[in-house]
Structure 1
Amino acid sequence: MEDAQVGWIAAIIIGGFAGWFASMFMKSDTGIFMNIILGIIGASVASFLFSLVGVSFGGWLGYLFAGFVGACILIWGVRAVRS
């Protein structure tokens, strides 16, 4: 996400929103701290996966979308491992 030009504070805020949206969408019971972690790590995971197929996002909206998609992937992965 280096090329997204999103600073650390913005990444935490946007990651929190992305994780929160994903938590609501996937109906998981995570707290605010876990939402932030899911959003930030999810954005990194989704950016990597999207770059494999040649898609790149930039800016705050791109980071939010990538964070949402990545957080959904992470929630799904945790659920798959647990069951």
Structure 2
Amino acid sequence: MELIISLIAGALGGNVAGGLAKSINQGALVNSIAGIVGGGLGGTILGALGMGDVAGGGLDLAGILGQVVGGGAGGGALLAIVGLVRNAIAK
């Protein structure tokens, strides 16, 4: 269940990041895919760094909020990387 929350939050984070920063916006589909992958990676990385209580702390309110923040941040970060790489290749 924690992974699903991270993936959904990642998709939302990717789309929000694309909406806020037009220079990295890749369209809804790419934003969502990058966000989903980034959300999954964000939760995994937080868990590997010993922040498992935040990223996968169960289904209490603090755990869910941690998963949403970690997934959204991971999704936005990966979209930023994808956007920057695609813009650099296009030049």
- Identity across the alignment (%): 25
Q: How many residues align?
A: 77
Moved more, 30-39 or 20-29: 20-29
Give the TM-score normalised by structure 2: 0.57
Moved over 6 A (4+): none
Moved more, 60-69 or 15-24: 60-69
2:14 aligned to 11, 19, 23, which one?
A: 19
Change (3 A) 1:25 1:5: same
Counterpart CA distance in 2 for 1:5 and 1:80 is 27
Give the TM-score normalised by structure 1: 0.61
Q: Report the CA distance between 1:77 and its aligned residue.
A: 2.7
Counterpart CA distance in 2 for 1:5 and 1:45 is 10
Superposition RMSD on alpha carbons, in Å? 2.9
CA contact (8 A) 2:25 2:31 kept: no
Segments of 5+ residues of structure 1 without an aligned counterpart are none
**What SS does the aligned partner of 1:6 have?**
helix
Change (3 A) 1:67 1:35: farther
Alignment match, 2:70 = 66
Q: Report the CA distance between 1:80 and its aligned residue.
A: 5.5
